[in-house]
Chains A and B, each alone.
Chain A
């Protein structure tokens, strides 16, 4: 079995590039027989073909079918009109789930952007900048699952009277003294969402920071010097010069983070599986698919996610066209 698997791997690693090479050289040989005008017109589509085929099969076809499924019942054998949509929007669980996503949207985007800018600015001023940037970016290289494990240890809770094993509880108990009531971060409904969002911020701030760092470096030094010589405080420099100069970058980063947060899944799945009021839309869809086996509702949720994301899509496209 093992040898077979490795065999498959080798075939894929060597075979695929070979096939693609053969494809491109082969088709070129074929169309070069044709008059130039024809071959010039065919060629772009030949080069695009593999990508287009994949996109049609894996994006376009499924999207249309999902749309279809969302109007059908659990195993897609009969049409139920808008019943799925009605059920998910009147379900109190779903409403609180949507509320969680809104919380994520606000806190996660604000947190990553703010910390990203602040750390970028601070790191910019020290000589060991690259080390700092690498360390802050590090959490992005690990999987959400590993992050889930790491933060499980951070948030762990022991009942009152026992030694705390969770880092955060231990720190707080050191600061507040003996009569401290340890907090079950992942169970306490008023803060467990925030606890998860903190994990998300921890992971993604590095990404924002790196982009902001590059943007910062393109602010002309003279502006900052001039302002400082004129006696502006650092706060004024930040607010009136730095932030306006990187405004477009802030928008791009915030948009990217927003897209990310709407689809947030891994962190919640690994740490709480959506229990105790921490559910999010993408995870709810997963449950509908695999726990409740209700493909109709799962598809309705997916369509809902798509609708949420369309304004951003339009915004991106407009940006792209404006730039040309």
Chain B
């Protein structure tokens, strides 16, 4: 995505009055749209700092005028008192980190083979993988649940790691094969001429060079697993001590009317990690999505 073409900034042409009007319209409409977009998040943020009783009596915007009654008690409650929230966050990490590493490494192996090695059936394998991109997870849930119950993988971390690893494969292989395929052939050939074995090429040349591409995939996969609810419910559901944050929070949500104050701060805490990751790396996101989707 090269920005070498200069886009017309703002509107050109027409009389001065016309331009001012159009520019004004442009800026105000996009700013308004963005403000409206952010409004829901702002509401949550403000509410999370308000005492429980107030939250059920008045809207969050009333807190922005004096008297100010902000409080940190919701956050304290959730972090230190409510059994489970801190544990929940730990679970989320314990689930997400391996579930990110595994599919990406395994997918990288497969993508390496598809992109750089010649073999019969290469096209077929790749088509199968593209086909799988679209298959709904639901197709696999019932039998996997039964299988897991039989071999006692239910409610275990390794059970859900493997599930996430498998379900993350199609997208990872698809994306990585694109990246690897775009790397210069000469680099690969020079290494072969120098007598490097394939594993050496993979670990010493390919992986380091694909840094940005891998980085994007890592972020995507991590966020997807971290925010996942369905798989966590199916494979970990019912065991509160291994429940990740989405499960814990949705349990809190379904108890109508109670725990609302904890819900706000719990939700915001669960949002913090993805937000930080996203805000600090947002350029990669943009590059990542577009690299994979635009042919």
A-side interface residues toward B, CB under 8 Å?
Answer: 1-2, 5-6, 8-9, 12-13, 16-17, 20-21, 24-25, 28, 32, 41, 43-45, 47-48, 50-52, 54-55, 57-59, 61-63, 65-66, 69, 76, 119, 122-127, 130, 132-139, 141-146, 148-154, 163-167, 170, 202, 207, 210-211, 213-215, 217-218, 220-221, 224-225, 228-229, 248-249, 252-253, 256, 259, 262-263, 265-266, 269-270, 273, 282, 285-286, 289-290, 295, 298-299, 301-303, 305-306, 309, 312-313, 316-317, 320-321, 323
Contact = CB atoms under 8 A, between A and B. Distances in A.
A299 B290 contact: no
B136 A154 contact: no
Given A62-B139, A122-B30, A135-B38, A266 B230 contact: yes
Contacts of A253: 293
A237 B34 CA distance: 24
26 contacts: A12-B158, A43-B117, A58-B166, A65-B146, A66-B140, A126-B30, A138-B278, A141-B223, A141-B271, A141-B274, A143-B226, A146-B44, A149-B249, A150-B40, A211-B290, A214-B294, A221-B8, A228-B12, A285-B141, A286-B233, A295-B142, A305-B136, A313-B131, A316-B130, A316-B131, A320-B127
Interface string B83-123: 00000001001100110011001110110111001110010
B33 A165 contact: no
A105 B8 CA distance: 36
A51 B109 contact: yes
B39 A20 contact: no
B5 interface: yes
A24 B34 contact: no
A243 B8 CA distance: 18
A109 to B, nearest CB: 15
Contacts of B101: 12-13, 16-17
A52 B289 CA distance: 25
B140 to A, nearest CB: 4
Contact of A61 (B107, B143, B197, B286): B143
A286 B285 CA distance: 32
Contact of B141 (A164, A262, A302): A302
Interface residues of B, number: 124
| Central interface residue in A57, A124, A143, by most chain B CB within 10 Å | A143
A63 B113 contact: no
B191 interface: no
B214 interface: no
Given A28-B197, A142-B274, A323-B295, A125 B8 contact: yes
Contacts of B161: 12
B294 to A, nearest CB: 6
A20 B277 CA distance: 27
B27 to A, nearest CB: 6
B142 A298 contact: yes
B82 to A, nearest CB: 15
Interface in B120-164: 122, 125, 127-147, 157-158, 161-163
| Central interface residue in B29, B110, B138, B157, by most chain A CB within 10 Å | B138
Contacts of A69: 142-143
Contacts of A137: 278, 282, 285-286
Contacts of B275: 138, 141-142
A13 B98 contact: yes
B74 interface: no
Contacts of A164: 59
Given A47-B117, A51-B107, A302 B274 contact: no
Given A125-B8, A125-B9, A313 B59 contact: no
B135 A225 contact: no
A266 B250 CA distance: 10
B232 to A, nearest CB: 10
Given A59-B135, A270-B253, A143 B245 contact: yes
B213 interface: no
